[in-house]
Amino acid sequence: MPRRVDTVPAERFARAALDGLIALARRYAHPVVGLPTGKTPVGLYGELGQLAAQGQADVRTWRPFAIDEYVGMPNHPCSNRSYFSRHWNPISGAATVAQFDPEAADLEAEATAFARRLAGAGGLDIAVLGIGLNGHLAFNEPGSARNSTARIVTLHSESRASAEACWGDDTPTRGLTLGLAELLAAPSVLLLANGAAKAGIVARALRGPISADCPASFLQEHPDVTVVLDEAAAAG
């Protein structure tokens, strides 16, 4: 079960998430941090940028790795690469995020190479995770095995529907993702969720049966998960 669950009002969500991340990062001299995209961590990255600019947070020792990417079009404004350019790169002192090459000719080989690069860094120390409406972690969709590793995946319809809000007609059908094995091998996990739409899946992930039907439910078996929720996401 998670070590702790913090539930905060919506306006304090980003700061509480950031405080959680900074507390975890202090445990490591050079933390290897897996970073999610999506709406959930936007405020966290913004607050981290403000603190770093004021000299109150120091990310210079952090080694950031993206946890997933859409296949194709890395320069599209909705790609994770573009997302990190907007939300991560402006953070003072932040190292460039290591990322999948979604245009690689051999995507399976690219996934394996990325996993090797992460392993070369010592693996994740901290996995920062959002949660998909269907319980996915990164792009580990329902049906993903607990021991799945970095690979190319087909996005489920719920994930494509969420992506469509940004990508429109260009919505990718496939993604590259770290597997549940690499994510859950991180000794520290920070799970973030906000908004009423996440209440049902958060409850299922944290209290429901542990099964590949809801990949986030495997977090129940992880020894050190910090969960930060806003009140709406905690309602279930």
Among the options 110, 125, 136, 182, which is catalytic? Answer: 136
Among the options 47, 68, 110, 125, which is catalytic? Answer: 68
Task: Output the smallest distance, CB 54 to ligand GLP, in A.
Answer: 26
Contact 180, 216 (CB under 8 A): no
Whole-number Å distance between alpha carbons of 223 and 137: 17
87 classed as catalytic? no
Structure tokens at 153: 């995946």
Contact 192, 128 (CB under 8 A): yes
Task: Output the smallest distance, CB 28 to ligand GLP, in A.
Answer: 22
3-state SS, residue 109: helix
Task: Output the smallest distance, CB 4 to ligand GLP, in A.
Answer: 20
136 classed as catalytic? yes
194 classed as catalytic? no
Residues that bind ligand GLP (CB under 6 A): 36-40, 67-68, 130, 132, 138-139, 159, 162
Smaller CB separation from ligand GLP, 79 or 162: 162
3-state SS, residue 170: helix
Q: Sheet holding 68-70: strands in order across?
A: 68-70, 174-177, 151-154
Among the options 69, 141, 182, 230, which is catalytic? Answer: 141
Residues with catalytic function: 68, 134, 136, 141
